[in-house]
């Protein structure tokens, strides 16, 4: 049976693997009712800084309970993180072919304040989709599912910074693309979608298509 539906966690400037799923599935549910977990892509992305991979983490307000739903997680203003993240993005990508072209789309996310992490992540994701030319049928969950019907895939904890995509996701085969520090660092697969977008611009869609093995990837060419 063709797999039509996928469940994903919320993610901050999610990795390339995540966006191949938005391309490949007819319906996408972003989990809003799971318990927030630290050290995941929910509040963290990885970019290619001049000295190598750099993780950027959005600080959160410590919840009152250990089992706080993702939808209730608030962003903290601690540590001037917006300024630091924007400076890191600018330092990493200022010399890429497309940073100048897209920076005014991204800058407002580091100037205005979002109260909830899930809202911030969703708004950034929808911006990225519009810039790449993706049109996923995407909505948030209203309850937490533990069983899945045929044709549904659960990737909520499989796309994870501490898990190896080569064993977790056989459908994902990262297509190498130009990276500004590649001569120094080699090609770094599955970084934040920001890395792909700033380096490849409109061709990002072609890279996503080439990075997914399934034959039913929607074609926009």
* Any domain includes 168: yes
List the Cα angle 19/211/135 in 5-degree steps.
35
Residue 158 pLDDT greater than 50, yes or no = yes
Residue 92 domain boundaries: 5-210
Residue burial 61-83, b: 16+ Cβ < 10 Å; e: rest: eeeeeeebbbbbbebeeeeebbe
* Any domain includes 219: no
Q: List C-alpha distances in Å: 105 to 12, 65, 97, 120, 206.
A: 16, 35, 15, 14, 21
30-40 mean pLDDT: 94
**Number of domains into which the chain is organized:** 1
Q: What is the pLDDT of residue 3?
A: 67
List, edge to edge, every strand of the sheet that includes 152-154.
Answer: 138-140, 27-31, 5-9, 152-154
* Any domain includes 218: no
111-138 mean pLDDT: 97
Q: Return the structure tokens found at 88.
A: 């890191």
Across-strand partners of 60? 75
Residue 15 pLDDT greater than 80, yes or no = yes
Band the pLDDT of 215: cuts 50, 70, 90.
very low
Residue 219 pLDDT greater than 70, yes or no = no
* Any domain includes 221: no
47-61 mean pLDDT: 96
CA distance 104 to 136: 23
Q: What is the pLDDT of residue 116?
A: 98
Q: Distance between terminal CA atoms of the chain?
A: 25
Average pLDDT of the chain is: 93
Q: What is the pLDDT of residue 157?
A: 96
CA distance 51 to 45: 16
Question: Of the ranges 84-93, 181-190, 211-220, which one carries the lowest mean pLDDT score?
Answer: 211-220
* Any domain includes 220: no
Q: Is 191 helix (H, G, I), strand (E, B) or coil?
A: coil
pTM of the full structure: 0.94
CA distance 160 to 205: 22
Residue 217 pLDDT greater than 80, yes or no = no
Q: What is the pLDDT of residue 195?
A: 98
Residue 34 pLDDT greater than 50, yes or no = yes
Q: What is the pLDDT of residue 131?
A: 97
* Any domain includes 216: no
Is residue 11 classed exposed, middle or buried when 0-12, 13-18 and 19+ CB atoms within 10 A define those classes?
A: buried
Question: Of the ranges 17-26, 62-71, 119-128, which one carries the lowest mean pLDDT score?
Answer: 62-71
């Amino acid at each position: 049976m063709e797999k039509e539906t996928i469940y994903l966690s919320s993610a901050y400037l999610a990795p390339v693997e995540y966006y191949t799923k938005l391309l490949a599935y007819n319906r996408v549910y972003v989990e809003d009712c799971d318990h927030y977990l630290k050290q995941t892509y929910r509040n963290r992305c990885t970019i290619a800084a001049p000295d190598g991979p750099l993780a950027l983490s959005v600080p959160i307000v410590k919840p009152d309970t250990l089992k706080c739903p993702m939808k209730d997680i608030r962003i903290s203003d601690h540590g001037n993180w917006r300024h630091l993240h924007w400076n890191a993005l600018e330092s990493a990508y200022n010399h890429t072919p497309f940073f100048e072209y897209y920076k005014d789309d991204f800058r407002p996310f580091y100037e205005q304040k979002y109260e909830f992490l899930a809202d911030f992540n969703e708004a950034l994701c929808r911006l990225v989709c519009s810039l790449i030319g993706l049109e996923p049928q995407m909505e948030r969950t209203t309850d937490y599912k533990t069983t899945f019907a045929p044709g549904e895939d659960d990737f909520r904890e499989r796309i994870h910074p501490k898990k190896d995509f080569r064993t977790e996701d056989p459908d994902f085969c990262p297509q190498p693309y130009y990276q500004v520090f590649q001569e120094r660092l080699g090609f770094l697969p599955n970084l934040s979608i920001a890395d792909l977008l700033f380096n490849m611009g409109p061709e990002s869609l072609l890279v996503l298509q080439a990075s997914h093995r399934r034959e039913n990837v929607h074609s926009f060419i």
